Amino acid sequence: MGDPLGMAITHAVASGMGGMRAAGDLVARMQIARGMRIDEAKKYVADKLNVSVRDLTDPIIMNEVRDDLGLGILHPNVRSPKCMEAKFNIARLLDIEINCVNRFKEKASL
């Protein structure tokens, strides 16, 4: 229940990491793949991206970092890695298994 403005957007603005605007999806991946708690997950991602933990929620810094590393951004250019392509790069950079990436490779005989 609850309308998205009152619930999802409120939490995203008050406490969230910003998703793809910043590095929220990447930190979430470490909880999913390794069961890391928040501080460990943030540090792991920050180290891999060579940024500070505080930078992880900064959309200006993270947009540039994500664009440079091909991790997917909100407004991708024509040649920017997007979606599945970006997830290939995320899996490699974070050194994790991503289920759909592995299945894509398997089906495409990569």
Partner 1 sequence: MGKIHTRYGDGSPVELEESEVMRDLENGTQDAAERGNVPALSKEEIQHLFDIFSSPYRFVGVEPGKEIVLSYDGTPIKLSRTQVNVDRLQCLQIYEKLLGADTLEMGYLDYSFKPIKSMVTYEQPLIEQILSVTTAPVFYGAMPNLPLYTQPDGPFPNPAELLPQGKIEEARASYEESVEHAVRDIVYVSSALYECGADAIILDTVGAAGDADYLASLKATEVLKEKYPQMCVELGMAGEFVLGMHGEMTYNGELLAGMYPHEQVKVAEKAGVTIFGPVVNTNTNESSPWNVSRAITYMKACCEVANIPVHVNMGMGVGAMTVHDHPPLDMASRASKAMVEICRLDGL
Residues contributing to the site for partner 1 (CB under 8 A)? 1-21, 24-25, 27-29, 31-33, 35-38, 41, 53-54, 56-57, 71-72, 74, 82-84, 86-87, 90, 97-100, 103-104
User: Which of 52, 97, 90, 51 shows the shortest CA–CA distance to 69?
Assistant: 90
Minimum CB distance to partner 1, residue 43 (Å): 12
Q: Is the dihedral of CA 24, 27, 31, 37 positive or negative?
A: negative
Minimum CB distance to partner 1, residue 79 (Å): 16
Cβ neighbours around 6 below 10 Å, total: 10
* Residue closer to partner 1, measured from CB, 21 or 49: 21
